[in-house]
Structure 1
Amino acid sequence: MFSRVADQYRGSTAVVVGAGGIGGEIVRLLTPSIGSLVVADHNDAVLDQLAGQIGSAKLLKRKLDVCDSAAVEDFAHFLSTTVGAPHFFFYTAGILTVEPFAQTTARDWERAVAVNLTGAFHCSKAIADLMIPQKRGSIVLLGSIAGTKARSGSRVNPVYNVTKAGLAAFVNAASMQLRGHGVRINCISPGPTATPMMDVQPAQVHEAIREITLDSRMNHPAEVAELALFVAAHGRFTGEDVCMGGGAGLGG
């Protein structure tokens, strides 16, 4: 899938917020052809590990708290003074909330909304402000099929689901206002994916995933990364919520 659009990334500038899991795979796929690449995360250790694995001088890393609007504005200023307005932006930061609804606290709600939804808003707004004067740009946010489908075999909390549903609604509305400026914004919504966040799920959930997916497995992070890169580069996508459920979004 990525090979069909790889040339569109050649010599361009991309920014990835969220260095683990799917975000890290996006960075790995982009590195050979990209002109400038910036990756940000709240965790220095994750950033250092990814940078060490990539080993490319074209990769810039930056610590970022997406919940802090002032920090995001500073990050946007850093971009404008180093690599300029990015052609592509990927927001893959997120947290998975799995507590039963009856045990969910106000703090659980606030934390999930802050990272999954408010952080996506802060970053999308700051990046769009850089893209608009250039009359071009593409933004992709990482959603989840949990935003539209809850399954009995999953321990995903309703708080997580609503933050991912919010992302899909956000890109649908934002695309209407950004398209006149040459900026596209989309959401990709994978099903269960083999990232470190899935480690918190117990064995019975992994068994349920094997039962409901097409080939009895989770998505590989690289598969989801390829989808993100395809959607970002393909000019016919805007305001969309593109799913890769592997069958996990079907049925009840």
Structure 2
Amino acid sequence: MPGHTADDRAPLAGRNALVTGAGQGIGAAVASALARAGARVTATDRTAEGIEALAARHAGPAGHGSEAAGAGSLEARVMDVTDTGAVTAAVEATERLHGPLDILVNVAGVLRPGPAAQLADEDWAATFAVNTTGVFHTCRAVAPGMARRGRGSIVTVGSNAAGVPRTGMAAYAASKAAAAMYTKCLGLELGRSGVRCNVVAPGSTDTAMQRALWTDEHAPRRVLDGDPATYRTGIPLGRIADPEDIAEAVTFLVSDRARHITLQELYVDGGATLR
């Protein structure tokens, strides 16, 4: 990427990154991975507790960086992706402090399960407000500056449910499908400027969101082996993903190793969708 130098130990050295939904799960893993790769990461979430704990872990004793392998850093900033004014203000403050953003990773997401024909209005609206409109807010705040500078990478963390129907997950699946297509359309429009936009689509991942769906001790086995009653295949690789598995894919896509990859949707689901 023009204007940057990097080595194998810190491939994102000198890059400024903003990650949403970084308070836990995949978002926390992504923020950590980018910092270890050398980026200056602003980890955001709608509440402070998770991101402040994440920043403290990276600062380490006396600020010596207990988790950082490269020259990166990680700081917390409260930001609600559903509030367009808050997003704009957070992006402007981050860029005043650290300089232009080179990387945006949209991870913030919510899941409100329920039968497709029985979803409450508020559950549908809340799901789209975070999973889809939140992506729109952050991309609109960040992408024009990237385009003017002629560089940048945006990754939206979607879901394999965006491409394969799931029972009880209509709002989530639809919102993730909309966010994925928005990200690809943005990438098409920004391609000539040098900005790349991609989607990472995880399957079942060991997060609080995933565990909230487990109703008994046999639930993880049903995820692995499949569940004919819900028309769901299992996971061919025979394991549920760790958040770090998703973070590694994101880190690759925002790096120069993926400099000729854009408009793509990378499924990181152990083969569960048979794609």
- Tell me the TM-score normalized by structure 2: 0.83
Q: Look up the match of 1:21.
A: 25
Is the contact between residue 13 and residue 34 of structure 1 (CA under 8 Å) also seen in structure 2? no
Is the contact between residue 143 and residue 168 of structure 1 (CA under 8 Å) also seen in structure 2? yes
Shift of 1:80: 2.1
Q: Look up the match of 2:70.
A: none
Matches within 5 A, 1:2-81: 7-19=10-22, 20-55=24-59, 58-81=73-96
Structure 1 SS opposite 2:273: coil
1:249 lines up with 2:248 in the alignment: no
Larger RCO (alpha carbons 8 Å, 6+ apart): 1
Structure 2 SS opposite 1:189: strand
1:31-84 Cα distance to aligned partner (Å, 9 max, x none): 234242211100111112211222266322110010011111111211221112
1:192 lines up with 2:204 in the alignment: yes
Of 195, 203, 210, the residue aligned with 2:224 is: 210
When residues 118 and 215 of structure 1 are mapped into structure 2, their CA distance, relative to the original with a 3 A threshold, is same
When residues 35 and 95 of structure 1 are mapped into structure 2, their CA distance, relative to the original with a 3 A threshold, is closer
Seq. identity, %:
29
Is the contact between residue 46 and residue 79 of structure 2 (CA under 8 Å) also seen in structure 1? yes
When residues 29 and 135 of structure 1 are mapped into structure 2, their CA distance, relative to the original with a 3 A threshold, is same
- In structure 1, what is the Cα distance between the partners aligned to 2:168 and 2:99? 38
Runs of 4+ in 1 over 6 A off after TM superposition: none
- Aligned residue pair count: 245
Q: State the one-letter code of the partner of 2:262.
A: T
Shift of 1:206: 2.5
Q: Look up the match of 2:162.
A: 147
1:185-219 Cα distance to aligned partner (Å, 9 max, x none): 11110111111111211235433211011233211
Moved more, 198-207 or 73-82: 198-207
1:131 lines up with 2:121 in the alignment: no
- In structure 2, what is the Cα distance between the partners aligned to 1:102 and 1:33? 45
- Tell me the TM-score normalized by structure 1: 0.91
Structure 2 SS opposite 1:8: coil
Gaps of 5+ in 2: 1-6, 64-72, 226-233
